[in-house]
Amino acid sequence: MVAVLEVVDVRKSFGGVRAVNGVSLTLERGRIYGLIGPNGSGKTTLFNCITGVERCDAGRIRLFGEPIERLPPYRIAQRGVGRTFQMIRVFPELTALENLLVVTTGPHDAAQARARELLSFVKLEGLADEYAGNLSYGQQKLVEFVRMLMRDPSLVLLDEPAAGVNRTLLGELLDAVRRLRDAGKTVLLVEHDMKVVMGLCETVFVLDHGEKIAEGPPGVIQADEQVIEAYFGR
Amino acid sequence: MKRLFPAALMLAIVALAVYPVFATGYGVRATLQVFMWIALAGSWNVISGLTGYVSFGHVAFFGAGAYTGGILMASAGWPWPTAALAGGLAATILALVIGGPCLRLKGPYFAIAMLGLNEVLRALVSYFERLTGGGNGLSMPTLDATIPIYYAMGLTAVAVTVTARLIIGSRFGLRLMTIREDEMAAEAMGIPTFQHKLLAFLISAIGPGIAGALTARDQGYIEPLSVFPLATTITMIVMVLFGGKGTVWGPVLGAAVLFVAQEMVWARYPYIHPLLFGAIIVGVVLAMPRGVLGLFQTKYRLPRTI
Amino acid sequence: MNVVITPAMVGQVIISGILSGALYAMVALGLALIFGVMRIINVAHGPLLMLGAYTTYFLATRLHVNPYVTVPISMAVLFALGLLLERTLVFRVIDAPELSSLLLTFGISIALVNGAQLAFTSDLRSVEYLVGSWVVGPFAFSKSRVVAFLFAAALTAAAFLFLTYTRTGKAIRATSQSRDVAMVCGIDVGAVHRLTFGIASALAAAGGALIAVIVAIQPEMGQMWTFKSFLVIVLGGAGNYPGAFVGGMLLGLVEQLASLFLTTQLSEVVAYVLLVIVLLVRPTGLLGGRQT
């Protein structure tokens, strides 16, 4: 059974700084993974390498066995990788509905139907014709989330989904993530909120200074000495 | 109101179609020019208004069309309608040659590259003197074709506006707008931004190319300064900004209003003309960035295809 | 074209390239500063240079001031104008989409050029001061170009020293690296922006002042300078200040070398093709820099 994502010894430097220094990990189908680490440990850079936004200096990245490290971002997205951003990036002058429509290329009616369906999924169908820029932070977050789902990605990358989100909304988001997992998708999320990570993820990777220092179920990670050192110092 | 609009539009088109029958020569020429500006502004809007990639050298396509058409008419005796289409084709090829490399760059770099295009083309025209007549210009056999050209230019203006309407009302148009909003996010969503930019750029070159060739025929004489002036690009930009960039009728409104204002008021003070335009650009950017129609669109929740 | 190219000619061309390169570098540095600190593409940069040239022209011909004495005066005048422009217009588009700042400075540039046309007419003007060349062996050094080189090199060096060692200079560099961090560190970012725009305008003015002695000036002269300054930045790497120096030298050399083989008309085409090639092959510039 070929893994959904294989990251093999990826390295990326900016000037003299080694943001990602030989990280390897494997993601299997139908599981939720967490990527944690102190600020500057290389999490977002790794995300960027996987999604093609940055080109890694060395190493291999394979999606369903096919190498993707040299592909432009849009091709990687077309192959089934969906992503949200740390700072919400909806298209402000497009309506919520248009934000979703824009992503697909199939027949218009089918696309519209799916877009409306996804908006109802997060209870935003009433705001379908509102400019995305006028929506509240939480609403934009949800729009970005379902926009990512329009292409029905197999691999979902979430960059700090819990950031700035109130408890109710957070609960809904996490439920949605679990449902994605149940539908057979693979989720990798970067998160600082430990409660979210521990409650949601089945396996957690810990990065520090661009290297993977631990990998395992949340309970084990929490007790790992290296992890504690990385976060809290000696 | 919604039902009035198509009727009013039909009326306007019919009126413009029969106008030459009873109008003065000046009236026909002036309206011909408005058509030309509509074609230019509307085309600029397709690339710059929608994708946000500012094409500072867009008049290069006008000039390329003028020279291609002019050379074909003068040296090879082509009839002007075919020469006009050839002008459009030449402009599109130029857009491919320039756009291919330059659109791979991000917005600001593209703008810089386009800034220099104008000067380069002017230099090239001077260099290839034998073909283009260089600084002495190119003359065509005299022909009184003002009225047929009026219709041809009108048709071009209509074609450009219809194309804009089709694009803006489609998902293709929406995708072009996402490039303006957030190109990186657009790419992350699987949108092939380069291909989209290039297609928009090619489409935006056809109108000016044809208009250039038609103008060449109408004037009977072209020279580098008359067909590659920066002032033309500036005017195009002001018209679209004023009328409303990214809208369908904004460029039409801008072209009509500013041309009339130009003829009636500013023609008397030709020297401050560009100064005024500069001031208008600054004013619009600061106070009314989405132009007149954009303002109405937001205020009265008008549809996107206005 | 049957031209025999001698080593002396190549040497001459290299020298000419270096002489003009310093001028390009100085003017481009101003543009690089605005782009690096404020993320704004200042299309009006060339016209500011043009105004510096005219300031020198009028001071030299009407008030009979030594043209080289007018250099600091032109710089001061344009510094003030730059401050004014930033304070009234430019600051409003700093956080706006790039399109807005591009169009705004474009509008300003049109207004400046046309204003100049109204005030000065489009007639060519020149300042006759230092004519002729110094001949050393097989090489001829145009006197006015040599002096321009010396000024440009000195001013560019001064600018670098300022940026590297003074507190204000460091504040400017900090702001260009990260505006938010600079604010948190207590730097008055608004003042930095104004100052940067002023300094950039002053550098452009210096360029204009020096050029007024070399070539004839007219209101439209700025446009090519804007374009070439950008070319220099692209060559050297955006946001990379030493890169402006390398880029300037490179442009100077390439232009002069090209003029050996092509007519001067085509030298602009050469610059353009160079730009496109570099942007395609290495968009972050030869020395590497920041992408937008």
Q: Is 60 exceeded by the pLDDT of residue C290?
A: no
User: What is the number of alpha carbons within 13 Å of residue C235 lying toward its C-beta?
Assistant: 27
For residue C37, what are the contacts with CB-CB under 8 A and spacing of at least 6?
C172, C175, C176, C192, C193, C196
Contacts of B191 in chain A (CB under 8 A): 74, 102-103
Quick check: A102 and B190 CB within 8 A?
no
CA C126 to chain centre: 19
> Among B157-166, B167-176, C266-275, where is mean pLDDT lowest?
C266-275
Please tell me the least confidently modeled range out of A19-28, B109-118, B187-196, C140-149.
Answer: B109-118
What does the pLDDT look like over A163-187, one tens digit per residue?
A: 888 888 888 889 999 999 999 999 9
By the 10 Å C-beta count (0-12 exposed, 13-18 middle, 19+ buried), C199 is classed as buried
- The partner residue sitting opposite B281, judged by closest CB among C110, C269, C272, is C110
pLDDT at B167 over 80: yes
SS3 sequence of B185-210: HHHHCCCCHHHHHHHHHHHHHHHHHH
Show Cβ contacts of residue B285 under 8 Å, excluding neighbours closer than 6 positions: B241, C93, C100, C103, C104, C107
Nearest Cα of chain B lies from the Cα of C30 at a distance, in angstroms, of 16
Share of chain C above pLDDT 70, in %: 92
> For residue B267, what pLDDT band results from cuts at 50, 70 and 90?
low
Would you place residue C50 in the very low, low, confident or very high pLDDT band (cuts 50, 70, 90)? very high
Strands (E), A37-78: 58-63, 66-67
Report the complex ipTM: 0.88
The subunits that touch chain A, with at least 3 C-beta pairs less than 8 Å apart, are B
Q: Is it the case that residue A40 has pLDDT exceeding 80?
A: no
Q: Quickly count: other Cβ atoms within 10 Å of residue A199's Cβ.
A: 10
Contact C247, C28 (CB under 8 A): yes
Q: Do B178 and A77 touch (CB under 8 A)?
A: no
Chain C within 8 Å of B168 (Cβ-Cβ)? no
Residue found under tokens 């993530």: A177
What's residue C239's pLDDT? 64
**Beta partners for A36?**
A206
Rounded to a whole number, what is the distance in Å from the CA of C6 to chain B's nearest CA?
A: 26
Q: Contact at 8 Å (CB) between B65 and B91?
A: yes
Contact call for C98 and B271, based on CB within 8 A: no
d(C-alpha A21, C-alpha C9), whole Å:
51
Distance between C14 CA and the closest CA of chain B, angstroms: 24
For residue C270, the chain B residues in CB contact (below 8 A) are: none
How far does A105 lie from chain B, in Å, by closest CA?
Answer: 8
Q: Is C230 helix (H, G, I), strand (E, B) or coil?
A: helix
CA distance B47 to B201: 5
> Are the C-beta atoms of A180 and A187 separated by less than 8 Å?
yes
Q: Which residues of B touch C268 (CB under 8 A)?
A: 116, 119-120, 123
Is B174 in contact with A72 (Cβ distance < 8 A)? no
Report the pLDDT value the prediction gives residue A231, as an integer from 0 to 100: 75
The C-alpha angle C103, C109, C115, rounded to 5 degrees, equals: 140
> B198 — alpha (psi -120 to 50), left (phi > 0) or beta?
alpha
Mean pLDDT score, C198-212? 94
Q: How many CB atoms within 10 Å of residue C277?
A: 11
Q: Which residues from chain C sit within 8 angstroms of residue B234, using beta carbons? A: 110
Distance from CA of B49 to the nearest CA of C (A): 10
C276 and B277 in contact by Cβ < 8 A? Answer: no
Q: Verify whether the Cβ–Cβ distance B171 to A77 is below 8 Å.
A: no
Residue of chain B whose alpha carbon sits nearest to that of C112: B275
pLDDT band at B91 (very low <50, low <70, confident <90, very high): very high
Instruction: From chain B, pick out residues whose CB is under 8 angstroms from the CB of C31.
Output: none
Per-residue model confidence as pLDDT tens digits over A47-79: 999 999 888 899 999 999 999 988 999 999 999
CA–CA separation, B114 and B253 (whole Å)? 26
Count Cβ–Cβ pairs < 8 Å, chain A vs chain B.
63
Chain B residues touching A103 at Cβ < 8 A? 189-191
Band (pLDDT 50/70/90 cuts) for residue C291 is very low
Residue A83, chain B, CB below 8 Å: the answer is yes
What whole-number distance in Å separates Cα of residue A8 and Cα of residue A25? 7
Say whether pLDDT at A234 is over 70: no
Contacts of B126 in chain C (CB under 8 A): 265
Q: Which chains touch B (3 or more CB pairs under 8 A)?
A: A, C
Q: In this structure, are residues C218 and C122 in contact, taking their beta carbons and an 8 Å threshold?
A: yes
**Helix, strand, or coil here: A211?**
strand
